[in-house]
Every structure is written in C-alpha cells, then in structure tokens.
Amino acid sequence: MSETSLDDIVSLAKRRGFIYQGSEIYGGLAGTWDYGPLGVQLKRNIMQLWWKLFVDDREDMYGIDAAILMNQKVWQASGHTETFTDPLVECSNCHSRFRADKIDTSKCPTCGKTGTFGEARQFNMMFKTHVGPVADEGSISYLRPETAQGIFTNYKNVVDSFYPDLPFGLAQQGKAFRNEISPRDFIFRAREFEQMEIEYFVNPENWEQAFDMWVEQIHKWCDMLGLPQDKVHELEVPENDRAHYSKRTVDFEYDFPIGREELLGLAYRTDFDLGNIQRVSGKNMEYRPKDGSTPFVPHVIEPSFGVERALMAVLTAAYTEDEMSGEKRVYLKLPKHLAPVKVAVSPLLKNKPELVNKAREVYQTLKKEFGQVVWDDNGNIGKRYRRQDEIGTPYCVTIDFQTLEDNTVTVRDRDTAQQERVAIAELAQKVA
C-alpha cells in the first residue's frame, strides 16, 4: 500500500467530523482549527491517557490548572518578551512573509522572484492583549505561549501546601498561543494549540538520572499512542538550536506524512526559571531538604507534549488502507483505548420493532458502561461497517433474529473483519 499523505488525513478528518478549519464559514482564520464530535473525543482520550499515565498513576506528580492570562512580569522574567522570536523576512515584490529559517531566501516561494528578501528581523510570537478597559502599558498581558510558566509561578504555592519530597513534578494541560509567521501542515503548526507539560523538580546533582527516566517514559507514551517505534526518533538538539533556557534538549521526532518533524520535546531547564522568578519577585524559591541539609533552588527537567502533534501522529499511524471483498477499504487502526467510539450497536433491520427494541436494550447497557457508544441503523450492514471502520470503531455489535432466540449478538472486529457470536451477558467484557 502507498504511504499515507497529509491530504488523506485532512480529508478524512473533515469528512467524518474530526477536525474543521477554524471560522470556515467566514473564509477561515489561518492557524486555527475546530474540533468536531469525533475529534474532541479523540483529543480528550489522548489528554486523559496522558493525565492517567503521568499524574494519577504516579506518586511524585501533582496537577495544576493556571490562568492563561498572567502578569506581564512573568514573561519579562522568563525571557519571552526579549527572546521568544522567529526571524521574519518579507518579499519586496509580492509582500509575502516567511520564517527565514524555513525557506531558501534566495527566491520567493510565492512569486518566484529572486533577491527580493532583505535582512530578517526578529518577530515576537506572543499575542499581546489588554486587561481591563484602560489600554495603557500597565494593562498589557499576553496569551501564554507555553503552559510551563503557569507551573513555575505556582511551584512555591504547591511546596508550601504539600511539602513534597524531591524529586517531584507539576503537570498541566491547556491552551497555548503563538503568532506563528507561517502556520502550516494542518494542525502541526497552529496559532492556537494545546500543550501537556511537566516541570519535574530535582536536586541538580541528579538531573541526568531524571532526564533518562523521562526519555524512557516518553517512549512508553509513544507506545500507548500506537506509534510504531521505528518511526519515533530522538534528536539531540545542538547548543545553537536550543531554546534560551535549555542546557540539554532531546526532540522526539515522528515520521509524519510531511516528513520527520518534532512531536514533543524534553529539556533540561536548569534553575533558569525559578532563579529568574526569585530575582524578579524577590521571593525565595529554595527547597528545604527534609534531612536538614542546605536549601537550594531545584533544577528542572521538562517533558513538553503538544496535543495536536500527538493527535496528528495517532491519525497517521492509524490510517490504513486494505482490500475487502475486492473493494478498497479505509480504516483507522486506533488503539482501543483511544478510539472516539468504542462500540457501534445496530439492529439488523430497522423496520423490525422486535429487533430494534432488543438492540436499544443492548445499546443502553453498553452506553451506561462505556459512554462512547453509538447507535447506527443507517443503510445496510456493510455500509455501517465501512463507516465505523473509517472512524476507528473497534467493534460493531449487531442484533439479529437469532438474538431473540438465544440472547447472543454478532460482534464484528474492525481490524480482521471477523464476526463471532457473543452472549449479551459477556458483551461488556468482550468489548472492554
């Protein structure tokens, strides 16, 4: 089978109600995307899996949820007002704008003229806004470009409330905004997106051990997303390409349809952020070891995950074409725990009340148990299967005349298309 293209993914996502262009009805707004019923469920499943793996299942993690709008001093102290920039070039002929490090600047990709780009200027990617009715310098704030700062600014609060043992981590999920010069490649580079970040506080003597632990955890995460291991790559980021706060960064890249690109990042942020907060706020950020030894400002290991990139990798890995009964079939081979619909329930015929009533009973029971269960009685059974395959539903349950006699149903498996008869009493266990 041929390689999956980005167009395959985009068109399935739109057709089947996963992801739409933002503000599409008014011609769109570049770099924004809206999630339909299946997209929002898939996204939530990914985010809940992350929270379970990295917060609920661990003893050393605490969740937080900070405000998106923060005091502008946060971004001054963190260095974002000064250095969160990308190099911008503009074509003097057609006035198209590009990120200088993403194109060959000898020739304009839009109009094809050569020598039309001047010197790049640094463009700050934070969205500026005003808080309150007075538009003066004092009321300026920014839509956060990373969730991380909401964690750093709450580090002291959590230590004061919980006094956790070191090492410990704070985790947060939420929106981030970047005024990207050229948003592109579907949800890969957007202006509004979602992050899932962990700041893991360590004794500086142990940072390498913690870094290695997170490398391992990230691979586990990729496995749980159903990403083939040979498509996930570690890239040791050289010093001159690292963010201003990082002493070591490993980017985890994935073989997307657009090529090998960053899926998520792991950085050693040292005491850069807590040190800056201490300097600018005047508040002490030191941790007092429980054994009475000298207090110190902890160092930080930061695994930073983008939700949209995880989702795009999941869709890429799951997108499968095969042939069934001489016809091409497209289906999403999603891991069961991520599928937006867990089970579809159908009566064999929708004009036979006895079948419909029995099917409704089964549907209600499964719905109560799993939530993400749909009723599908449109078209013939073959069409229903195809439709459910395309959105990655692992199981289709059909109620037929035999059901009325022996309380068994047909369960059809998405990947093998095999059907088996299962007793209704054992159905929940079968599809769990």
18, 98, 152, 193: which one contacts ligand GAP (CB under 6 A)?
193
Q: C-beta of 410: minimal distance to ligand GAP in Å?
A: 41
Torsion of Cα atoms, 319 then 323 then 329 then 333, to 10°: -30
Stretch that binds ligand GAP, among 127-135, 189-197, 329-337, 349-357 (CB under 6 A): 189-197
CB atoms within 10 A of CB 70: 18
Establish if 264 lies at the interface with ligand GAP (CB under 6 A).
yes
Establish if 342 lies at the interface with ligand GAP (CB under 6 A).
no
Stretch that binds ligand GAP, among 48-56, 187-195, 320-328, 407-415 (CB under 6 A): 187-195
Q: Which three-class secondary structure state does DSSP give residue 210?
A: helix
Q: C-beta of 425: minimal distance to ligand GAP in Å?
A: 44
Establish if 180 lies at the interface with ligand GAP (CB under 6 A).
yes
Q: C-beta of 242: minimal distance to ligand GAP in Å?
A: 10
Establish if 373 lies at the interface with ligand GAP (CB under 6 A).
no
Establish if 86 lies at the interface with ligand GAP (CB under 6 A).
no
Q: Are 412 and 385 in contact (CB under 8 A)?
A: yes
* Angstrom distance (rounded) from CA 246 to CA 268: 5
Burial of 2 (0-12, 13-18, 19+ CB in 10 A): exposed
Q: Please measure the distance between the N-terminal and C-terminal CA atoms of the chain and give it in whole angstroms.
A: 31
Establish if 144 lies at the interface with ligand GAP (CB under 6 A).
no
Q: Nearest CA to 132 among 72, 66, 192, 177?
A: 72
190, 314, 396, 427: which one contacts ligand GAP (CB under 6 A)?
190
Establish if 306 lies at the interface with ligand GAP (CB under 6 A).
yes
* Angstrom distance (rounded) from CA 35 to CA 310: 15
Q: C-beta of 253: minimal distance to ligand GAP in Å?
A: 10
Q: Are 298 and 279 in contact (CB under 8 A)?
A: no
Contact set with ligand GAP (CB under 6 A): 146, 148, 178, 180, 189-190, 193, 195, 197, 262, 264-265, 302, 304, 306, 308-309
